[in-house]
Amino acid sequence: MTTDTTLPAITILGLGPGSWDDVTIQARETLARAARENIPVYFRTLVHPTIEPLKGELPDLHIESFDDFYDESDDWENLYQSITETLCEAAARGPLVYAVPGHPLIGEYTVQLLLKRARERDLSTRIVAGLSFLEPVCAALEFDPFTLGAQIIDATELGSLAHEEIAGKLIPTTPLLIVQVYNRRVASAVKLALGECYPDDWPVKLVRAAGVESDEAVVEMPLYELDRNNLANHLCTLYVPPRAEMEAMRLPETLRYITMRLRREPDGCPWDRQQTHRSLARYAIEEAYEVAEAIEENDLEHLAEELGDLLLQVYLHAEIARQEGHFSIGDVLEHVNAKLIRRHPHVFGSVEVENAGQVVQNWEAIKRQEKIAAGQDVEAVSALDGVHLALPALLQAQEYQKRAARTGFEFSSLEEVLDKLSEELDELRAAGTPEEQKDEMGDVLFIVAKVARMLHIDAEEALRAANRKFKRRFQQMEALIRAEQREFASYSLEEWTLLWERAKQIV
């Protein structure tokens, strides 16, 4: 039997967590061969406890490192890319060893990049396993990450997340291990990121030099102190204990838990347990109107609150459906995510568009294909189908008009629409019975909506603005009347008119 002794272009070797005793036999043999055959060994960093014993064991080892790259770079992504490119260029000239702390495939982003680049460049690779940081860290914490469902994330990745991405990335109701907290700068970025999901005084544990007996330490501190000392270094892992399900208020999962708890038998809320899809329908409409009102008032703090109330309705309906065996919140999310991706091929695919008009055209074409795929006879579908009956009447009228216009049923000019409005007003004046007046008033309002649409005005929004303006001015009149200490009924029509003009000048 013969053994293949051909070296791959790149051997990726794990140095273990820090103690020379933890370096595997296979790793020692690989390094010894590199020394004998003058194969260069590139260390991601020489700031590691195994380096000095290694130099003593193998004084002829050809050592290179990327520590200078760390000193010169402020961008972790570019740093890792530079390391990877340097290794691939060197490997094209001859075999090399790339040595990293711990296990090459655990918490080593450069290794993932390197494997990808090597495949692209047809460079052969081999992994020499090492004891990872996880084992000694868990031993120091007396902690089983699998039983507790721990989340593990790289410190540099967490620190580079945009503000709005953090709540979606972290799961604060599970234990969290943040690895490679290299220095004080990284610790500061981690602290700021964690502040999105944890209180400032949340207790955390910084595990230093796990597995290195003389240096190993577990330092407990409140989160806000993480970067107020010089404890962070290249052998640090941060442990963040989980928050209770009812405490993680910025987490979508918390809302799911609360709605489930409200509906739970027998110790949930009696009112919530009685609700059905039908009984809750009116609340969804009410909450949607309150969202619109907050938008109209430009009250962003109120908008955040009202969006939460609307989201609660979504979760309540999903929980009712889950209990009845129909669907769950996961199905809701899957439907909307798949639909958004499917209907935005210009964002998530290769389709190119020049303007918003083309986006709308693509949207309608995709919807048509969806209906065909669902077995609907699209040729028999009315252009007005799909306009919801629960819409506000003015909004519904404009949506009907917009869809009808796509078929060619449209006035050719604003003047024609205004003439039609005059005609409808004449018919309203001539109406003799309450039923006729109601019918003609409907026609007037419909044409008013048409005039607004010809002027590119949202009729619903315009009327709401007029309502707000009337409310402000009338309330100002009430204030003027109270200041004059008179009874409302004592004012004549002429006095009301004068009050209205005064109110207009004030608000």
Tell me which range, 4-13, 65-74, 420-429, is most confidently predicted by mean pLDDT: 420-429
Confidence of residue 183 (pLDDT cuts 50, 70, 90): confident
**Average pLDDT, whole number, for the chain?**
89
Element (H, E) at 225: none
94-134 pLDDT tens trace: 999 999 999 999 878 899 999 999 999 999 999 999 999 88
Give me the half-sphere count of Cα atoms (radius 13 Å) on the Cβ side of residue 44. Answer: 24
Percent of the chain whose predicted confidence (pLDDT) is above 90: 50
pLDDT recorded at residue 378: 61
Range list of H helices, 297-433? 300-323, 329-342, 345-348, 356-373, 393-406, 414-430
> Is-contact 374 354, C-beta < 8 A?
no
Question: DSSP state, 391?
Answer: S
Using CA atoms, how far apart are residues 334 and 118, in angstroms rounded to an integer? 35
Biggest CA-to-CA distance, the chain: 115
> Is-contact 34 98, C-beta < 8 A?
no
Asked if the model's pLDDT at residue 136 lies above 60, the reply is yes
pLDDT recorded at residue 317: 96
380-422 pLDDT tens trace: 667 777 777 777 888 888 888 888 888 888 888 999 999 999 9
Residues 6+ apart with CB under 8 A from 6: none
CA distances from 171 to 133, 137, 150, 210 (A): 22, 20, 9, 25
Mean pLDDT of 280-291: 90
pLDDT recorded at residue 3: 45
225-250 pLDDT tens trace: 999 888 888 789 999 999 987 888 88
Mean pLDDT of 285-298: 88
Cα first-last separation, the chain: 97
pLDDT recorded at residue 5: 65
Report angle CA 33, 106, 235 to the nearest 5 degrees: 85
48-69 pLDDT tens trace: 889 999 999 999 999 999 988 8
429-440 pLDDT tens trace: 999 999 999 999
Asked if the model's pLDDT at residue 377 lies above 70, the reply is no
Mean pLDDT of 139-153: 87
Question: DSSP state, 207?
Answer: E
Asked if the model's pLDDT at residue 2 lies above 70, the reply is no
Asked if the model's pLDDT at residue 210 lies above 70, the reply is yes
Asked if the model's pLDDT at residue 371 lies above 80, the reply is no
pLDDT recorded at residue 88: 96
| Residue 210 burial (10 A CB sphere; 0-12, 13-18, 19+) | buried
Q: Which two tokens stand for residue 225?
A: 């102190």
